[in-house]
Amino acid sequence: MIVCTLGDLVLDVIVRLHGPLAAGDDVGARTELRAGGQAANVAAWVAALGARARWIGRRGSDGGAARAEAQLAARGVSLLGPRQGRGGVVVSLVGPDRDRSMASDRGSAAMLDADDLQAAWFADCDWLHVSGYALSQPGGAAAAAAAASFARRAGARVSFDAASAALIGSVGAAAFAARVRAVDPVLVFATVGEVDALGGPWPGATTVVKRGADGCTIVDAGRREELPAVPAQAVDATGAGDAFAAGFLVGGPALALQAGARCVATVGAMP
């Protein structure tokens, strides 16, 4: 199986706080630098779970981007797309309660455009997984629609992750929905908040609602299935939804839940 992912590759700055942030003061923390980005995370987990993975997007050409690229390649992922401009950086603050908040700078990834793609990159893939972050800009939305067209022509199925309720709100629900319709996924991953922002389960597709420690809900043509999470000692929730999506694409719901549990038990978004 070959899974292609379309979207961001960034440098994750993971800050594990030893206590609550104090306004105007200092708090101890442990900081790590790791490759990240939703599409890159999914690709890394696809490779770790035994399938072939190909990341496609626009990469930065600076030192941070080179570090992220090297880490992703070392995990067995092929990388395709132009190198240009500044690499993206995401700062993830992990609190004492293991929950996390993020501040995102997508860098050159935000400049992705349909002209960056080649049809041959999608000719042999079984799944194309599109990150919702690619739909945040008109150029990226055009690239996602083009990639989905290339993939479907080659017989692949298309999945989509809604990525962020705040992102949907910033684009506008109607505009974002139009961009998703152009991608035309058969499988949609979303959190409860993202499903609400989309106006409900995606019509004509299987919608997988990611519920974190509460497992997931699968909604398909009126059928609704609730599945519990796999027990795990949570250390860092960063990337758990991406691990879950990779597991679902490679092996279905059981592998998805196992991958999510494996992810939260370690620091960082990648295996």
Read off the pLDDT of residues 170-217 as tens digits, 9 standing for 90 and up. 999 999 999 999 999 999 999 999 999 999 999 999 999 999 999 999
Phi-psi region of 252 (alpha: psi -120 to 50; beta: other; left: phi over 0): left
Query: What's the confidence (pLDDT) of residue 96?
Result: 80
The amino acid present at 205, given as its one-letter code, is: A
Query: What's the confidence (pLDDT) of residue 145?
Result: 98
Q: Which residue has the higher pLDDT, 20 or 42?
A: 42
Identified catalytic residue from 8, 116, 236, 242: 242
What tens digit of pLDDT does each residue of 2-22 get? Answer: 999 999 999 988 888 888 887
Domains and CATH numbers, the chain: 2-264 (3.40.1190.20)
Statement: residue 63 has pLDDT above 80:
yes
Query: What's the confidence (pLDDT) of residue 125?
Result: 96
Q: Using CA atoms, how far apart are residues 84 and 92, in angstroms rounded to an integer?
A: 24
User: What are the residue ranges of helices labelled H in the chain?
Assistant: 38-48, 63-74, 138-153, 165-171, 173-183, 192-198, 240-251, 253-264
Report whether 254 contacts 218 (CB < 8 A): no
Query: What's the confidence (pLDDT) of residue 98?
Result: 67
Calculated CA dihedral for residues 171, 153, 150, 137, nearest 10 degrees? -10
Report whether 186 contacts 206 (CB < 8 A): yes
Contacts of 228 (CB under 8 A, 6+ apart): 214, 215, 257
Residue 242 among the catalytic residues: yes
Query: What's the confidence (pLDDT) of residue 268?
Result: 76
Q: Using CA atoms, how far apart are residues 247 and 162, in angstroms rounded to an integer?
A: 17
Statement: residue 104 has pLDDT above 90:
no
Q: Using CA atoms, how far apart are residues 127 and 172, in angstroms rounded to an integer?
A: 27
Mean pLDDT of 90-95: 83
